[in-house]
Amino acid sequence: MRIGILTGGGDCQGLNAAIRAVAKSLMLNNNAEIIGIEDGFDGLLKRKVRQLSYADCSGILSLGGTILGTSNKANPFDYQGKDCSADVMSYYHELGLDAVVMIGGDGTMSIAYELSKLGMNIVGVPKTIDNDLMCTERTFGFQTAVSIVTEAIDRLRTTGHSHKRVMILETMGRYAGWIALHAGVAGGADVILIPEYPYNIDEIVSACELRASEQHYSIIVVAEGAKPEDGTMAVQETIADSPDPIRLGGISDVLKSQLETRLNGEVRATSLGHIQRGGSPTANDRIFATNVGAFAAKLISENLFGRVVVQQKNQLTSVPLEQVANQTKGVARDNITLQSALSLGISFGVANLDAMG
């Protein structure tokens, strides 16, 4: 058995733990040869692979990033204006691969789905700090990112408290508010703004004023994809050849300007950026990445392809790639953490969130 592994999209904590689990399981139980594909789909386009030994996959469990490299720019179906999928399929056959394990988020799974339709045997493994992959309750990287953002809120609180300021913290998460919601609740934010529910600035002003009547500072956590109800998302740049062509960022500065003119006090904005994706995974993310990696190896050994490993009702299972591709899992109104936050009086910048369509 000869199995390829690639990591696609943005890096995150737990990628190496997953690579290790896939590779070691397949080497030990199926005597498989493991071919590491470098830099995500770029490696399939530019023919960059290397065989991974057992030793290559040892000592990497706690390491951040990915030993294989990754890219969120190389889309074989739209690469420098061309469809290069036929070249990628030829290379797959030339390499003599029986299957490829693709570890990635929604962009990677969407490409994986298209390649599987062309005959590539693929098993998807879900990763992303954004936690926005359809059909799965969890992706590795998310829990670590939430811990990092929570610690940042704790640190911002001391300055907010000492200087009586409104402190805004911008998180990643693209079009979903998972990181902001979970870290906001874990860090005790007063206002949490997420893309799923466009905010009304007057609601945020009221929340800060109400809070000021008891504590003279407020913490606002805003997801990068959040937007005012009468405005648009803050975009930093657009990227060619990418399954994720829009880079978000900057909403915390927009919000700071909006609030400074309305509030009687100082406002400061901080954006955590890639710090959220860096460094070692938490113990829990290491375990989860190991579990999904070993589960992917099991699917391969059973010749079950065109599927993605997912967690549903706290159990690992798999679903067809088609169910995950080209979709985003957002925070639903009945989400337990969202509902808890509302019941504690945390503002989402919306007058009546439960009434929203």
User: Which residues are at the interface with ligand F6P (CB under 6 A)?
Assistant: 10, 72, 105, 128-130, 172-174, 224, 247-248, 277
**Cβ proximity of 196 and 179 under 8 Å:** no
Residues 265, 190: Cα–Cα separation, whole Å: 16
CB of 70 to ligand F6P, least distance (A): 10
- Label residue 257 exposed, middle or buried (CB < 10 Å: 0-12, 13-18, 19+): exposed
> Toward ligand F6P, which CB reaches closer, 70 or 218?
70
Using Cβ positions, the residue closest to ligand F6P within the complex turns out to be: 172
Q: Out of 39, 130, 132, 244, which one is annotated catalytic? A: 130
Rounded to a whole number of angstroms, the minimum distance from the CB of residue 224 to ligand F6P is 6
Phi, psi dihedral angles at 302 (to 5 degrees): -95, 10
Choose between 72 and 150: whose C-beta lies nearer to ligand F6P: 72
Which is closer to ligand F6P, CB of 84 or CB of 145? 145
Hey, which residues does 319 pair with through a beta bridge? 308
Q: Alpha helix (H) ranges present in the chain?
A: 15-30, 41-45, 85-95, 106-117, 142-163, 178-187, 201-212, 251-260, 283-301, 336-343
- Mutual angle of helices 336-343 and 178-187, in 10-degree steps: 40
Q: Residue 130 catalytic?
A: yes
Nearest residue (CB) to ligand F6P, 190 versus 285: 285
Task: Give the pairing type, strands 33-37 and 2-7.
Answer: parallel
Specify which residues 238 forms β-bridges with: 246
> Could you tell me the smallest distance in angstroms from the CB atom of residue 352 to ligand F6P?
29
Rounded Cα distance, 55 and 50, in Å: 14
For 146, 160, 171, 192, the CA distances from 269, given in Å and listed in that order, are: 19, 11, 11, 14
Shortest Å distance, C-beta 97 to ligand F6P? 27
Beta partners for residue 270, in sequence order: 169
Task: State in angstroms the smallest separation of the CB of 243 from ligand F6P.
Answer: 11
For ligand F6P, the closer of residues 71 and 282 by Cβ is 71
Of 5 and 129, which CB lies nearer to ligand F6P in the complex structure? 129
Angle ∠(333,335,339) on CA atoms, nearest 5: 80
Residue with tokens 């375990």: 287
Q: Work out how close the CB of 117 gets to ligand F6P at its nearest, in angstroms, rounded to a whole number.
A: 24
Q: With respect to ligand F6P, which residue has the nearer C-beta, 35 or 221? A: 221
CB-count exposure of residue 261 (10 Å: 0-12, 13-18, 19+): exposed
Q: How far is the CB of 313 from ligand F6P (least distance, A)?
A: 25
Distance of CA 21 to the CA centre of its chain: 20
Active site residues: 130
